[in-house]
Amino acid sequence: MPEIEAHESKLYAEFAPLYDKIFGKIFYSRLESVIDDLDIPPGAKVLEVGAGTGTSFPAYPTHCQVTGIDLAPDMLARAQRKIRDNGWSHLTVREMNALDLDFPDNSFDYVMAFHVVTVVPDPIRMIAEAKRVCKPGGKIVIVNHFTSDFPLLGALTEALDPITRWLGWRTNLRLKPFIKTTDLAVERVYKLSKTSLYTVLHGRKARNGFRPTREL
């Protein structure tokens, strides 16, 4: 297990008061569309890792049980306030590391990771944990930006990686190696529009367990 770097969540903790103002509305319509499309059935157990201020929370149907986890208490305090103000009894939040989830194996029907795989220090470890806590046959849903496959654009965004890392996210994660290394059984990969920078990825945990994760 790699050493956990606090930097990413620390940055978001400091940034929490501004997060909803800057990203809330932009991110919400994307997440609403992704969650609607899943048609989550009644009684489903959902985990959202790196849930932050709960940007996605209004989109979840009240007939499922959602747990949001995040390492940044200031982000979670905002999510908690939304839960209280809206009387959402189907939502709870807990402070927890996405790289070391405090849940038993096979606990959730859905594991969501929205705008978080490029923020955690070890995305491969995060997906291994998501697979562990996902029930056999359950879904892992990722929304994120990945480095472009267009050579010039890809090289440019990779060159920016040291700067964006300092700011709190990486820009050198390419989709195909990510899928290969995490050994995700991918069912669907799509973009919400032709020009969107963000990719939506549906993975499924095999019913007979999951394939071992390879190291990067």
Ligand X SMILES: C[S@@+](CC[C@H](N)C(=O)[O-])C[C@H]1O[C@@H](n2cnc3c(N)ncnc32)[C@H](O)[C@@H]1O
The residue ranges that bind ligand X (CB under 6 A) are 8-9, 12, 23, 27, 49-52, 55, 70-72, 75, 97-99, 114-116, 119-120
Closer Cβ to ligand X, 114 or 210, answer by number: 114
Q: Smallest distance from the beta carbon of 151 to ligand X, in angstroms?
A: 27
Token reading at 155: 């090289």
Q: Smallest distance from the beta carbon of 19 to ligand X, in angstroms?
A: 7
Closer Cβ to ligand X, 17 or 136, answer by number: 17
Q: Smallest distance from the beta carbon of 9 to ligand X, in angstroms?
A: 4
Close Cβ partners of 128 (under 8 Å, ≥ 6 residues apart): 182, 213
Q: How many C-beta atoms surround the C-beta of residue 122 within 10 A? A: 17
Query: What torsion, rounded to 10 degrees, do the Cα atoms 57, 60, 63, 68 define?
Result: -50
Cβ–Cβ under 8 Å, residues 145 and 197 = yes
Cβ–Cβ under 8 Å, residues 205 and 131 = yes
Closer Cβ to ligand X, 9 or 157, answer by number: 9
Q: Smallest distance from the beta carbon of 119 to ligand X, in angstroms?
A: 4
The residue at minimum Cβ distance from ligand X is: 52
In angstroms, the CA 18 to CA 23 distance is 8
Cβ–Cβ under 8 Å, residues 62 and 83 = no
Closer Cβ to ligand X, 26 or 152, answer by number: 26
Closer Cβ to ligand X, 44 or 143, answer by number: 143
In angstroms, the CA 60 to CA 159 distance is 37
Closer Cβ to ligand X, 191 or 207, answer by number: 191
8-state DSSP, 19: H
Q: Smallest distance from the beta carbon of 190 to ligand X, in angstroms?
A: 18
In angstroms, the CA 204 to CA 44 distance is 15
Work out whether the CA dihedral 200, 205, 211, 213 comes out positive or negative. Answer: positive
Q: Smallest distance from the beta carbon of 12 to ligand X, in angstroms?
A: 4
